[in-house]
Amino acid sequence: MNKVIAAVIASLLFAVGFSTAHADEQEKLDFAGYLEETLGHFWAIEQNLDDDNAELALVHATHPIAELYDSMKPELKEADPEFDAKIQQTLEELGAKTGAEVTREDAQAAIDDAKNIIEEARLLVVGEELSNDPMFKAKLMQGLLKTSIGEYEEGVKNGQIEMMAEFQDGSAFVWRSQQIFEEIKADLPEHEAEEIEEFYSDLWNAYDTKADAEHVETYAGGIIHELDEITGVESEEGGLSSYFENIEHLLSEVKETYAQGMTDEALSSATKAYLDNYEFLEAPIAEQDSALMEEIEIMLREELRNMIKDGAASTEVDAQVDAILVKLEDAESLLPVMEEDAEHEDSEHEDAEYVDALPPLRQLKSGIEPSAVECDSDMELLIKSSNGSPACVKPTTAERLVQLGWGTRPQ
């Protein structure tokens, strides 16, 4: 065989293998993320039981089976159907086993059993090696913190808690992310670890004082950016438009898999469309049209998922998906940010000289001075006050970080 042709084939096979491995790791990261949120809810159960608040304890006890389990089921069922049935039963019974009629000691025993089941699921689907990888855990921290930002924004308005369950969700996910941080802190650069600890202190203080959501976003975002620097990978900042695109893709999967009789897969895609994407759109949509936001939520979170669970005809599911997409188009048209994103993408394509910038730390290692580091066109360069290192952040985040004294703009 011609050596050139052989080399091309080899490179193509390598690329396919790399892409498959990356997709597999992303699926495991998503799965592990659902496990971490479940553990966050377990912590919230414990906190509410200690406060004699059985009602809120029940909310957190039922949330994993009501939403998170559906996203995990396809992987669990593929790995071990018997174990899938076991974890489903455990989560379904958790509410009754931690209810008002149960002693605190018995409730804790049920929670501990559920925690053990979650760890079994982690080893079964994710595997021990990846589960213990510090960089994988750092990504789990980032996912929890990103979700916590949206939950806090829903839960707190004008310095008051308006939705206690959402406020507790946010605090539970921050708590869980910090637990993971404690597990990997020794593996992180000392200075960055210290800065993350400072951000956590500021973040918890913001929760205690019911600070404006933008402050919570700033502190949580600070941790996320510190982890970006450590891993050498910049966070993808696709804007709100990326959530709309993700939902459209996932709903297309709902149609396809449900028509093929793959109910579990269809339910998982529908759940991810809501849980991993629409929840981040609820607050900005509500600012423009709260009735539309609630209508889409009910159509997506309740009606579509119930239709799939109840075995509705494919034509009915398709019609529901199409109706949701129409409403989402209405919502997207209300958000000025969407127009700005579109204009930004057009300008990028028109600019022949546009090139994605390397992460700041990689540029530093190549000999570039901190003040000369280049960021992607939608990011802004800051110089951290603590150590003079560069960081690329969103302009809105940059302004708040400068005000807080975290960093300065290069002169």
**Quick check: is 321 in a domain?**
yes
Phi first, then psi: what are they for 252, rounded to 5°?
-65, -40
What does the pLDDT look like over 100-144, one tens digit per residue?
A: 899 999 999 999 999 999 999 999 999 999 999 999 999 999 999
Do 385 and 373 share a structural domain? yes
Phi first, then psi: what are they for 304, rounded to 5°?
-65, -45
- Long-range contacts at 110-116 (CB < 8 A, ≥ 24 apart): 111/42, 111/45, 111/46, 114/42, 114/90, 115/39, 115/42
Do 144 and 128 share a structural domain? no
**Quick check: is 15 in a domain?**
no
**Quick check: is 392 in a domain?**
yes
Residue type, 65: I
Neighbours of 393 (CB within 10 A): 26
What does the pLDDT look like over 216-266, one tens digit per residue?
A: 888 898 899 888 878 765 444 456 788 899 999 999 999 999 999 999 899
pTM of the model: 0.69
Do 294 and 262 share a structural domain? yes
Do 122 and 36 share a structural domain? yes
Do 181 and 260 share a structural domain? no
Q: 354 burial class (0-12, 13-18, 19+ CB within 10 angstroms)?
A: exposed
CB 79 within 8 A of CB 112: no
Do 258 and 184 share a structural domain? no
Do 367 and 333 share a structural domain? no
Look at 19 and 365; give whichever has higher pLDDT: 365
Separation of alpha carbons 204 and 215, rounded Å: 11
Do 211 and 257 share a structural domain? no
Do 340 and 248 share a structural domain? yes
Separation of alpha carbons 218 and 370, rounded Å: 22
Separation of alpha carbons 279 and 320, rounded Å: 19
**Quick check: is 262 in a domain?**
yes
Query: Among residues 350, 374, 390, which one ends one of the domains?
Result: 350
Q: Quote the domain boundaries for residue 123.
A: 21-132
Do 378 and 346 share a structural domain? no
- Long-range contacts at 218-221 (CB < 8 A, ≥ 24 apart): 218/397, 218/400, 218/401, 218/404, 220/145, 220/146, 220/148, 220/149, 220/174, 221/145, 221/149, 221/393, 221/394, 221/397
Tokens 């200690």 locate to 50
Strand, helix or coil at 391?
A: strand
**Quick check: is 145 in a domain?**
yes
pLDDT given at position 386 = 64
Do 44 and 119 share a structural domain? yes
Burial 331-348 (b: 16+ CB within 10 A, else e): bbeebeebeebeeeeeee
**Quick check: is 125 in a domain?**
yes
pLDDT given at position 299 = 94
Q: What is the mean pLDDT of residues 268-292?
A: 85
Dihedral class, residue 261 (left if φ above 0, else alpha if ψ from -120 to 50, else beta): left
pLDDT given at position 396 = 65
CB 281 within 8 A of CB 243: yes
Do 82 and 39 share a structural domain? yes
Query: Among residues 113, 132, 151, which one ends one of the domains?
Result: 132
As for how many domains the chain has, the answer is 4
What does the pLDDT look like over 350-360, one tens digit per residue?
A: 443 333 456 66
pLDDT given at position 23 = 58
CB 377 within 8 A of CB 399: no
Per-residue pLDDT at 167 exceeds 90:
yes
Burial 73-87 (b: 16+ CB within 10 A, else e): bbbbbeeeeebbeeb
Query: Among residues 108, 132, 156, which one ends one of the domains?
Result: 132
What's the CATH number where 44 sits? Answer: 1.20.120
Cα–Cα–Cα angle for 45, 34, 391, nearest 5°? 105
* DSSP code of residue 123: I
Considering the chain, what is the average pLDDT of its residues?
Answer: 84
